[in-house]
């Protein structure tokens, strides 16, 4: 069985239910069924910075096939926890500025993900209004 470590940002599965269900559905659509051929190792740091770090280290010790980091603090903690396990992040506004990736087109290392680029867009919006 494949093991996927997921570092959320809320305090519980109930708080992340909509997103956790969406993750399960997306994985199932690709043929990855929890309990059948994958195990999801979910961790919930309750938005506490020290818990992001300790839970990312805990997940890395489990040697999952991939770590999913749901938020900037989760991605930063996951990157700190391992340089070998593949990491996929989401909800990171500026992964280049945060030094998570080398560039958006060529992330490099063991980390990649999805950025909403809100910081760059905000600057563009301000420049256009001036």
| Domains with residue ranges and CATH for the chain | 2-129 (3.40.50.2300)
pLDDT digits (tens, 9 = 90+) for 74-105: 999 999 999 999 999 998 989 999 999 998 88
pLDDT of 119 reads 55
Residue 64 buriedness (CB in 10 A; 0-12 / 13-18 / 19+):
buried
Pick from 6, 63, 60: nearest CA to 32: 6
Beta strands per DSSP E along 1-130:
2-7, 38-43, 66-70, 87-90, 111-113
Q: Is 71 helix (H, G, I), strand (E, B) or coil?
A: coil
Report pLDDT for 127.
45
Crossing angle, helix 49-61 and helix 72-81, to 10 degrees?
A: 40
> Which segment, 27-31, 90-94, 118-122, 123-127, is predicted with the most confidence on average?
27-31
Q: Provide the pLDDT confidence category of residue 126 given band limits of 50, 70 and 90.
A: very low
Amino acid 104: pLDDT:
84
pLDDT digits (tens, 9 = 90+) for 16-31: 999 999 999 999 999 9
Q: What is the mean pLDDT of the chain?
A: 91
> What's the whole-model pTM score?
0.87
Banded model confidence at residue 57, pLDDT cuts 50, 70, 90: very high
């Amino acid at each position: 069985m494949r093991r996927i470590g997921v570092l959320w940002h809320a305090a519980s599965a109930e708080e992340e239910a909509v997103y956790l269900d969406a993750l399960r559905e997306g994985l199932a659509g690709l043929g990855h069924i929890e309990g059948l051929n994958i195990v999801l190792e979910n961790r919930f740091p309750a938005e506490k910075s020290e818990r992001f770090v300790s839970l990312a280290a805990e997940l890395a010790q489990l040697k999952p096939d991939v770590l999913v980091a749901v938020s900037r603090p989760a991605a930063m903690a996951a990157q700190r926890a391992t340089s070998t396990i593949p990491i996929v992040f989401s909800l990171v506004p500026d992964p280049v500025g945060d030094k998570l990736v080398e560039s958006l087109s060529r992330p490099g290392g063991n980390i990649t993900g999805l950025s909403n680029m809100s910081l760059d867009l905000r600057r563009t919006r301000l420049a256009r209004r001036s």
